[in-house]
Amino acid sequence: MGPSAMRVAGLGARLEGLGYKVEDLGNLPVAQAESHPSGPPRMRYLPQIAEACRRLARAVYSAASGGMSLVVLGGDHSVAIGTVSGMSRWLRTQRRSLGLLWIDAHADMNTPRTTPSGNIHGMPLACLIGQGPRQLTHIFGYAPKVRPEQVALIGVREVDQLERPHIKRSGVRAFTMRDIDERGLRAIMEEALKIVTNGTAGFHVSLDMDSVDPGEAPGVGTPVRGGITYREAHLLMEMICDSDRMLSMEIVEVNPVIDVANRTAVLAVELLSSAMGKRIL
C-alpha cells in the first residue's frame, strides 16, 4: 500500500510541476505473505522475494535502457535488491559501475548467519555487495552489483550485534547519527558524494523513510527515535540534486496502515521533489 499512498500524496503532479514527463508503469505483482509458508527461519519468504526482485530488476533494466530516469516505490527495503541489480546490469553493458547512497536508520547488512529475525529486508545491502543467498546476490548471474568502496550509508542508529563487525569489515563507509551530530549533515554529504561518484557513472539513492525521525515520519515498519530532522532530510536531497550525478532513486518503508494522516507518504513525496529539483527560491 505504500506506493498507493505516495500516489495519493500527489507524486505524479509534483514531478510534472517540476517539468518532468511522468509515466507510471504501475505495480509489479508480489506474492502476499499470508498466502505462502514463511520457509527457512533465517531466510523467510526467500523464493517469493527473489522472484519479486528478479521481476523488478528486469523492469528497471528495460526502463533504464529506454532512457528513463527511474523512481521505484516500495514496499520494504528488500526491493532494493531488484532496483540496484537492474541499474547495475544496465551500466555493466557499458563497462561502467554504479555508486550507491543508502539512507537508513539500519545498516541492512545482515546475512542468514547473523540475522536475529530472518527478515530479508534486513539483508539487502549485504546482498548487493555480494554477501547473502545466491538467489539474491546473483540476479543476472554476477556479484557484487556494487563495489563496497563505492557505497555510503547515512543515518545509521540501530545495528544488530552480529551485524556490527560485518559492517566494519565490508568496506562500506557508514555515517552514523553521531557522525551527523558531531560534523553536521553538510560535511557528511560532501564526503559521501565523493565516495559514490569516485570512479562511477553516477549513483543510485535508496531512501528508507525510517532514516527520518519518527516524529516526522511515523508510518514506517521499524521506527527508531533520534533520526534525521525534517530540514536535514531536505538538505540531503537538495545536495543530491546539486551533484547532478543521481541516476535513479527508490523510496521504501511507507506503511499507511501505521501512518498518521498520510504524513509519511506526503513527506516522501516532498523529499523526492527536492531530489528532483524543487527549490525554495
Instruction: Report how far residue 279's alpha carbon sits from residue 107's, in angstroms, rounded to the nearest whole number.
Output: 30
The pair phi, psi for residue 24, each rounded to 5°, is -85, 110
DSSP H or E run through 171? none
Examine residue 13 and state whether it is found in any structural domain, yes or no: yes
> Hunting for cell 557528511 — which residue is that?
188
Examine residue 175 and state whether it is found in any structural domain, yes or no: yes
pLDDT given at position 53: 97
Q: For residue 243, how far is the Cα from the chain centroid?
A: 18
Examine residue 236 and state whether it is found in any structural domain, yes or no: yes
Domain residues for the domain of 155 are: 2-275
What positions carry a catalytic annotation? 77, 104, 106, 108, 121, 208, 210, 253
Examine residue 281 and state whether it is found in any structural domain, yes or no: no
Q: Would you call the peptide bond into 144 cis, given omega within 30 degrees of 0 as the criterion?
A: yes
Domain count, the chain: 1
- Beta-bridge partner residues of 73: 251
Examine residue 280 and state whether it is found in any structural domain, yes or no: no
Examine residue 242 and state whether it is found in any structural domain, yes or no: yes
Q: For residue 59, how far is the Cα from the chain centroid?
A: 17
Q: What is the domain-level CATH number for residue 100?
A: 3.40.800.10
pLDDT given at position 73: 97
pLDDT given at position 40: 87
pLDDT given at position 21: 96
Q: Are 271 and 233 in contact (CB under 8 A)?
A: yes
Is 143 strand, coil or helix? Answer: coil
pLDDT given at position 250: 98
Kindly give the parts of the chain with pLDDT less than 70.
none
